[in-house]
């Protein structure tokens, strides 16, 4: 009976140690992926200064209004603001600025023109309702454009690192408990 109990304990300890090691390995792989993908985007983001933006004007541009320029087939919201005492163009995120510098906001669904137009109208109404809001600007010298929301801010980075840290801590705790259980079993067997 005692030998069966010891063998069952040993099998359980081995499985727990394997689980702990697997959790640590998964956490290390996740850290590697995050460090190679998300961290460079965070470091490259220059939109660090938070300031108050005052709405100057908003208008919706359709493709007819932008003649002579290659423009996608969707409605385009253009927002001008006053940030830190100077005129600037507001972009929704970093990606919006990279996709099309002529649009402040690009609707999420571009399949249906009427749905996209309704989405742009709703965003425009929100801006006109709230005339003063916080925005992110680049360091002094490049204040011709500002962001409404940062994609790669410190909150995103911390939230992305939370789960791998939780996984690593849990794996290390399981390994520590398994090893301490083995140590206590050896001490009990010696007495």
Q: Mean pLDDT per segment of 10 residues, for the chain of length 191 residues? A: 54 88 96 89 79 85 57 74 80 83 81 83 88 81 78 84 94 92 80 74
Q: What is the value of pTM for the model shown?
A: 0.67
pLDDT of residue 164: 94
pLDDT of residue 98: 79
pLDDT of residue 76: 79
Query: How far is 167 from 160, CA to CA, in rounded Å?
Result: 12
Query: How far is 60 from 62, CA to CA, in rounded Å?
Result: 7
pLDDT of residue 55: 87
pLDDT of residue 89: 85
Query: How far is 3 from 126, CA to CA, in rounded Å?
Result: 72
pLDDT of residue 7: 53
- Residue 54 in contact with residue 132, Cβ under 8 Å? yes
- Residue 146 in contact with residue 8, Cβ under 8 Å? no
pLDDT of residue 32: 95
With H, G, I as helix, E, B as strand and everything else as coil, classify residue 32. helix
Cα separations (Å) of 5 from 9, 11, 150, 184? 6, 10, 57, 15
pLDDT of residue 163: 92
- Residue 84 in contact with residue 103, Cβ under 8 Å? no
């Amino acid at each position: 009976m005692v030998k069966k109990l010891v063998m069952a304990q040993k099998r359980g300890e081995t499985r727990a140690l394997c689980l702990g090691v697997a959790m640590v390995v998964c956490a290390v792989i996740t850290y590697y992926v995050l460090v190679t993908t998300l961290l460079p985007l965070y470091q490259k983001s220059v939109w660090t200064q938070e300031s108050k933006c005052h709405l100057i004007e908003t208008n919706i541009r359709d493709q007819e209004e932008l003649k002579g320029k290659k423009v996608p087939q969707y409605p385009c919201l253009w927002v001008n603001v006053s940030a830190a005492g100077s005129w600037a163009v507001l972009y929704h995120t970093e990606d919006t600025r990279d996709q099309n510098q002529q649009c402040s906001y690009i609707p999420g669904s571009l399949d249906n023109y009427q749905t996209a137009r309704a989405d742009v109208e709703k965003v425009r109404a929100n801006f006109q309702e709230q005339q003063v809001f916080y925005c992110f600007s680049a360091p002094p010298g490049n204040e011709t454009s500002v962001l409404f929301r940062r994609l790669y801010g410190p909150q995103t980075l911390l939230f992305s690192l939370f789960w791998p840290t939780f996984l690593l801590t849990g794996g290390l705790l399981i390994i520590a408990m398994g090893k301490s259980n083995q140590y206590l079993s050896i001490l009990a067997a010696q007495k």
